[in-house]
Amino acid sequence: MSPILAVVLVTLNLGLIFIFFALPLGVRTVRLSRVIAADRDRVWSALWPFGENAAWSGQQLSGEQMDDPALARVQLSWEGRDGKPIERTVRLEDAVEGERFSATVIDDSSLDVSFFADYRETAELSVEAGKTRVTLARTDRYRGGAFLLFRYFALRRELRKLKIWAETGRYRAGGIFEHPASQVGFALLSVLILWPIFGLNIGGLVLAMVLTTVVALHELGHMAAFRVMGHRKVRMIFVPLLGGIAIGGRPYDSRFEVAFVALMGTGFSAFLVPLAIAACNYSVGEGWRFTATVCATLAGIAALFNVANLVPVWKFDGGQVLRQICPGPVSLALASFTLLSAFMAVGYAAGFPVMLLVLAGAIFAILSLITAGSGIKPRHELRRLQGFERVAIAAALLAVFAIHASGLMWASARMNDWREFEQQRREKVHQASERIASLPRT
């Protein structure tokens, strides 16, 4: 891939990341409506926190009215950092039985209340030709379009499931989006999007497939780390072109957990790179040129992708790990500068153009700035790293970086060897053609 194409691809991803995760959108309201063939009282009993059927979806476990009639303590099925159900205190406003109500969150056992500063949900019911029209709305302040889109599809799913339950009495868990078949489809879509970028030929298809596989294995490492840390439910959402997102089953409990999960994406792939290199060397010895090319491509792309993920950007794995192991802003700045310098040095040693490296450094710096401070604040501070934990994570970070950096330089050297081999082959073919052309004709 040419440096210009690489810059275009990186710039495109940077723009998409800004739009999805950093673009200030202000306070927005997502509002959807649907007609349900059911009695209004039945629908109201499902939406009202104290309703007889408030637990229709399994999301709410219980609802208890507090001393203040406008306040309700709601227990949710989502797990908190301690593995127990999350408890939330909501204020009910503008409530007219059977018609409408609004709710705001004033306390949460998992997240800091500032997360809900602009959040408001409303429900409105009306009768239309013997049926019930349900209108649900969610208002919040959004930074980036990703969470706004999530809210839209989540609200759309809630209405669809409510309609099915109210009309049939059955609740269907799960959804199409996170189904494994859908994720495989998104991965295939990613391959089709990347194929023209790498070239509409067999080589471009292999590159697109290898890059998509590397992304999936990276997220698999995060998922494995979640399970090791005790998460009972984990899943992966594949986002075409942008990559993937591994999601745990509960909030983080400690800084060690944050660092371990972040590092295991690249750490899991650190076992893949040496295996791919060994397979390439074996294939070369056996004369399997195509297999050797695929293995070398896998090693090179895996090393490059994971080294890039270790760059100390706020939302990248490297930035996540450094923020946990560095106790203060000075040490964090020094560690970030050192890791970024190491990344630039590895890129230079691997043969990347200097201007491309400078541009990449500038892009990473901009990306870190536009995503800084966009994290979600927990209700209680995470448990700090102990001395041994800090040393272990730091050592693992250096080891993983060294493995991927070595793999990247090996792939670069192999690519240069193949270029020289191809040039020598072409020269021999050209010389043979000239000798044949100079033979006397009879």
Q: In the chain, where are the structural domains located?
A: 3-19+182-434, 29-168
pLDDT of res. 135 = 97
pLDDT at residue 392, rounded to an integer? 94
For residue 9, pLDDT over 60 is answered with yes
Q: Which of 249, 201, 198 is nearest to 228 (CA)?
A: 249
pTM: 0.79
Distance linking the first and last C-alpha atoms of the chain: 47
| DSSP structure class, residue 66 | -
Between 99 and 370, whose confidence is greater? Answer: 99
Superfamily of 29-168 according to CATH: START domain (3.30.530.20)
Over range 396-412, report the average pLDDT.
92
Whether the per-residue pLDDT at 63 is higher than 80: the answer is yes
CB atoms within 10 A of CB 85: 18
pLDDT at 179: 73
Mean pLDDT, residues 44-55 taken together: 94
The conformational region for residue 313 under phi > 0 = left, psi -120 to 50 = alpha, else beta, is beta
Q: CA-to-CA distance for 173 and 175, rounded, in angstroms?
A: 7
Q: Which residues lie across from 237 on neighbouring strands?
A: 245
Question: What are the tens digits of pLDDT across the range 305-349?
Answer: 999 889 887 778 888 899 899 888 888 888 888 888 888 888 888
Contact 189, 240 (CB under 8 A): yes
Spatial neighbors of 70 by CB under 8 A, at least 6 apart, are: 91, 92, 93
Lowest-pLDDT range of 81-90, 119-128, 197-206, 263-272? 197-206
The DSSP secondary-structure symbol of 382 reads: P
Share of the chain above pLDDT 90, in %: 37
